[in-house]
């Protein structure tokens, strides 16, 4: 398996999601569980510039759009797709050389129709804000995406965004998590190893800020 691929635990996620259905307190466990996902970028010497299933680094910024979920994001020049597909449920981009460990990825999961998305957002945001007080996060805020559709303003997603405080030897992340109108859960994460995070941070934040739904 390509070392650049995201390390997801499907069993843990499924279990956490099942707990979430019973109430707001359990909702927090989903958000926190997914924040514990990590990436393992390979070194440039161990990985060719265009990974299997990936692409060469772009010479200029590129706007990508996921047609099924109707959202777009902008990847800066000098980054390349390492795995996945923009129109699938997961994709991973990294800045070259890969030794910088700057990355952006998303993963999505369809929740049940009666899944309490609003309760999940409120509980997870509350937990993320409490984590600022115990020095786990730097910031946390509500982030809903709205826009015009058929002449009316509609809410495309409800979600929250946070920036972690990194730990030596780990990864530091800016994470935007949201539920769309069909109750798809989307986890969008810009990350780097903690020692590279401040160098990468302007580009990572720019990617997260570029995520737009609708249109």
Q: Let me know if residue 112 belongs to a domain.
A: yes
Give the mean pLDDT of the chain.
81
Mean pLDDT of 24-53: 40
Task: Look at residue 164 and tell me whether its pLDDT is greater than 50.
Answer: yes
- Split at pLDDT 50, 70, 90, the class of 191 is very high
pLDDT for 215 equals: 67
- Split at pLDDT 50, 70, 90, the class of 55 is confident
- Split at pLDDT 50, 70, 90, the class of 214 is confident
Structural domains of the chain, count? 1
Our CA angle for 143, 149, 155, nearest 5°, is 25
pLDDT for 149 equals: 86
Tokens representing 56 are: 């060469």
CATH of residue 82's domain is 3.40.1000.10
- Split at pLDDT 50, 70, 90, the class of 78 is very high
Q: In this predicted model, what pLDDT tens digit does every residue of 109-118 receive, in sequence order?
A: 999 999 999 9
Compute the distance between CA of residue 38 and CA of residue 102 in angstroms, rounded to an integer: 13
Domain hosting 172: range is 10-213
- In the three-class reduction of DSSP (H, G, I as helix; E, B as strand; rest coil), residue 59 is classed as coil
Mean pLDDT of 77-98: 95
Please report, for residues 52, 67, 141, 207, the alpha-carbon distance to residue 202 in angstroms, rounded to integers and kept in the order given: 28, 27, 18, 9
Compute the distance between CA of residue 133 and CA of residue 14 in angstroms, rounded to an integer: 29
Dihedral, 146, 203, 69, 33 alpha carbons, nearest 10: -100
Q: Let me know if residue 2 belongs to a domain.
A: no
Please report, for residues 49, 73, 89, 167, the alpha-carbon distance to residue 43 in angstroms, rounded to integers and kept in the order given: 10, 26, 25, 20
Task: Look at residue 42 and tell me whether its pLDDT is greater than 90.
Answer: no
């Amino acid at each position: 398996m390509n070392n650049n691929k995201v390390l997801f635990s499907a069993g843990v996620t499924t279990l956490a999601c099942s707990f979430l259905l019973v109430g707001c307190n359990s909702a927090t466990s989903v958000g926190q569980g997914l924040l514990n996902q990590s990436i393992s970028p390979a070194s440039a010497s161990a990985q060719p510039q265009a990974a299997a299933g990936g692409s060469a680094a772009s010479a200029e910024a590129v706007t990508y759009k996921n047609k099924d979920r109707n959202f777009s994001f902008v990847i800066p020049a000098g980054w390349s797709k390492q795995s996945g597909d923009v129109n699938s449920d997961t994709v991973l981009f990294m800045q070259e050389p890969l030794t910088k460990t700057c990355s952006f990825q998303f993963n999505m999961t369809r929740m049940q129709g009666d899944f309490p998305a609003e309760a999940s957002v409120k509980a997870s945001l509350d937990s993320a804000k409490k984590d600022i007080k115990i020095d786990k996060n730097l910031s946390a805020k509500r982030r809903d995406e709205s826009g015009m559709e058929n002449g009316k303003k509609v809410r495309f997603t409800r979600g929250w965004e946070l920036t972690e405080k990194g730990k030596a030897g780990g990864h530091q992340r800016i994470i935007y998590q949201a539920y769309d109108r069909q109750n798809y859960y989307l986890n969008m994460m810009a990350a780097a190893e903690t020692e590279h995070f401040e160098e990468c941070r302007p580009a990572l934040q720019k990617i997260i800020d570029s995520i737009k739904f609708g249109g």
